[in-house]
Structure 1
Amino acid sequence: MFIDTGGFSKQMELSPYILNQISIGLERADIIIVLFDATQPPTQEDEELMEMVRKYNRPVLLVANKIDTKKSQENINEYYKFGEIIPISVTHKKNIDLLKEKLLSFAKEGERKKRTHAAKIAVVGRPNVGKSSIVNAILNEERVNVSPFPGTTTDSIDTEFKYKNELYLLIDTAGLRRKSKIKKDIEKISALRSILSINRADIVILIVDAKEGITAEDKKIASYTQKLNKCLIVVLNKWDTVEKKTETLQKTKK
């Protein structure tokens, strides 16, 4: 199945639908094809797109289209900084068969290397409850950027780890917020990606701020997870800030 997305550009803030479409497409893809315009040298947007694509840890085919002119041929050399480039011309059907062969080769290689995880674990929760810090503690290394400011991690980040010779996939998501409180388009996309992460997971770890207690949004996250028949684990973070520990624990259990 091919997933065609809208064009990536600096005008993305004017078209959140396209950014949303790209984000979902990258999330669902087994192989990613990045298409460059060879009539011009690499742009800042190309740099940003490649940075976005690399986060997904998928096989990537880099393709430069419109190679019909001498200038295009010169521009292609600059694209090799991103990796191996497949030069094509859709208009004149140049190297289309080569692209098909490469794509088929990637697909077969992907089937051979396809990993089986004992479980996929999604770590979810509202912004600034300490999800990334807990992921780092589990992995015992700084694999996710941690910041005191809420909403720093806007993408779902997949990390593999081994425990007792079993391979697991840990999915750290952006914070979930109620729709009424989401004002920026990027936050809407982050919330959607978190929901997609829950859909992918076998086990969902819901991180709750122990001092604030279970909120209405936490309950909605838990309810959504249970409707999908996922295993749900609720973790009370920042426990050291709670004074009435027994009372808080009882309220959480209810």
Structure 2
Amino acid sequence: MKPIIALVGRPNVGKSTFFNRLIGQRKAIVEDLPGTTRDRLYGDSDWNGRVFTVVDTAGLLFEEEDDSAPLAGIARRVRAQAELAIAEADVIVFMVDAIEGLTTADSDVAEVLRNTYKPVVLAANKADNQERALNAVEFYALNLGEPIPMSAYHGIGTGDVLDKVAEQLPVVEEETDDSTVKVAIVGRPNVGKSSLLNRLLGQERSVVSAVPGTTRDSIDTPLEYNGTNILLIDTAGIRRRGKIERGIEKYSVMRALRAVERADVALLLIDAEEGVTAQDTHVAGMILEQLKGVAILVNKWDL
């Protein structure tokens, strides 16, 4: 499994520019306007032989919001997306703006990151001349280690940042290649993934054990059906309700992506009562991008 690198920081520090450079294509919209990125984008990259998934997040702001403001709801959802990316990342690249210097918003983000106890690489972006690179030392005040001057736009110092990231990446054990068919059950929350899993485990099956999977927050369940070894890959929503906060589960696209990466076949559940939604098509797109087999299951059609 590929480790996850999250690019975080306040709005307009150059996260999307760095993201596009890493994945080698213009996937994220880049404008000189704060708040351009609202949803998490992901793509694969590699450095020094290490392959990883990069997640571009929306800019983080933690000041008190006016709930009556027209975009207050959007702002909360955007922040939830970014916070989830932080929670699921193996390494965090915290990007700051070397032109504007240290801001209160940077300090707010730094406080959140310190409480995650995860590896953080501090990248002082837009340091495209010697003066700005030297001024990056002021970011030592964030207490997140040495700030690395870089320019995502010009490609200056990006290798230094990636060297530091590569040092922090976890060791990934390769899964053994065997005849086991790996099946991921994916879909939106409350479409019936748990019911399907329980039904599969309750009929003509021989459960060996419930063993931790190779990815964080997943449980793999081996079973045997008509002489065929099958590995059911648990995704967000399968776990007991008390184990995952509702908001976290709602936005957990990365968990589904990791499950699909490992699977041979994905079972995509759709709620017949609600029909096909944008989130359904998003998950379906992830399956197609990974070139995996897929079966679309329409659940609750009898209700």
More helix by share: 1
Could you tell me the TM-score, scaled by structure 2's length? 0.42
Could you tell me the TM-score, scaled by structure 1's length? 0.49
